[in-house]
Amino acid sequence: MATGDLRDFIELLEKHGELQRIQEEVDWNLEMGAITRRCYDLGAPAALFEKITDYPRGFRALGAPMGPSKTPGHSLYARVALALGLGPDAGAREIMDVYLARKEKTIKPIVVKGGPCKENILLGKDVDLLKFPIPFIHGGDGGRYIGTWHAVITKDPDSSWVNWGMYRLMVHDRNTMGCLFPMQQHIGQMYQRYEARNLPMPAAVAIGGPPVIPIVSCAMLPAQVNEVEVAGALLGEPIPLVKCETVDLEVPATAEIILEGEVLPHERKVEGPFGEYMGYEAGKSSPKPVFRVNAITHRHDAILTVSNMGMPIHESQTVLGLTKSADIYSELRRQGLPVKGVFVPPYGVGHMVVVATETPFINFAKRVAHSVWATKPGLFTYYIVVVDADVDPTNMDEVLHALTTKCHPVNGIHQVPHTPGFPVLLPFLPPKERLLGDAAGVIFDCTWPKDWPAESIPVKATLENLWPFKKPEK
Note if 25 is an active site residue: no
Q: How many domains does the chain have?
A: 2
Tell me whether residue 320 is in a domain. no
Phi, psi of 30 (to 5 degrees): 75, -35
Tell me whether residue 327 is in a domain. no
Tens of pLDDT along 220-262? 999 999 999 999 999 999 999 999 999 999 999 999 999 999 9
Tell me whether residue 263 is in a domain. yes
Q: How far apart (Å, rounded) are the C-alpha atoms in residues 449 and 412?
A: 9
Tens of pLDDT along 274-300? 998 888 887 678 999 999 999 999 999
Tell me whether residue 94 is in a domain. yes
Q: Among 154, 150, 223, which Cα is nearest to 185's?
A: 223
Tell me whether residue 311 is in a domain. no
Tens of pLDDT along 145-198? 999 999 999 999 999 999 999 999 999 999 999 998 888 889 999 999 999 999
My answer on whether 342 and 264 are in the same domain is no
Tell me whether residue 470 is in a domain. no
My answer on whether 187 and 44 are in the same domain is yes
Tell me whether residue 312 is in a domain. no
My answer on whether 212 and 148 are in the same domain is yes
My answer on whether 393 and 268 are in the same domain is no
Burial category of 105 from C-beta neighbours within 10 Å (exposed 0-12, middle 13-18, buried 19 and up) = exposed
Could you give the dihedral angle defined by the CA atoms of residues 37, 41, 43 and 49, in that order, rounded to the nearest 10 degrees? -20
My answer on whether 94 and 132 are in the same domain is yes
Check which CATH number belongs to the domain holding 399 and give it.
3.40.1670.10
Judged against a pLDDT cut of 70, whether residue 470 lies above it is answered with no
My answer on whether 218 and 351 are in the same domain is no
My answer on whether 261 and 360 are in the same domain is no
Give Cα separations from 376 to 221, 324, 337 (angstroms).
Answer: 7, 9, 17
Instruction: Specify whether the CB–CB gap between 355 and 368 falls below 8 A.
Output: yes
Give the pLDDT mean for 199-209.
Answer: 97
Tell me whether residue 197 is in a domain. yes
Check which CATH number belongs to the domain holding 119 and give it.
2.30.110.10
Q: CB-based contacts of 165: which residues, under 8 Å, 6+ apart? A: 151, 152, 154, 185, 186, 187, 217, 218, 227
Marked catalytic residue, from 18, 50, 227, 276? 276
My answer on whether 355 and 215 are in the same domain is no
My answer on whether 82 and 212 are in the same domain is yes
Tens of pLDDT along 72-114? 999 999 999 999 999 999 999 999 999 999 999 999 999 999 9
Please identify, among 306, 327, 353, the residue that sits at the C-terminal boundary of a domain: 306
My answer on whether 219 and 366 are in the same domain is no
Give the pLDDT mean for 371-397.
Answer: 96
Please identify, among 306, 325, 347, the residue that sits at the C-terminal boundary of a domain: 306
For the chain, percent of residues with pLDDT exceeding 70: 98
Residue 220's domain spans which residues?
6-306
| pLDDT score for 423 | 80
| pLDDT score for 1 | 65
My answer on whether 360 and 234 are in the same domain is no
| pLDDT score for 284 | 76
My answer on whether 11 and 63 are in the same domain is yes
Residue 426: pLDDT band (50, 70, 90) is: confident
Residue 474: pLDDT band (50, 70, 90) is: low
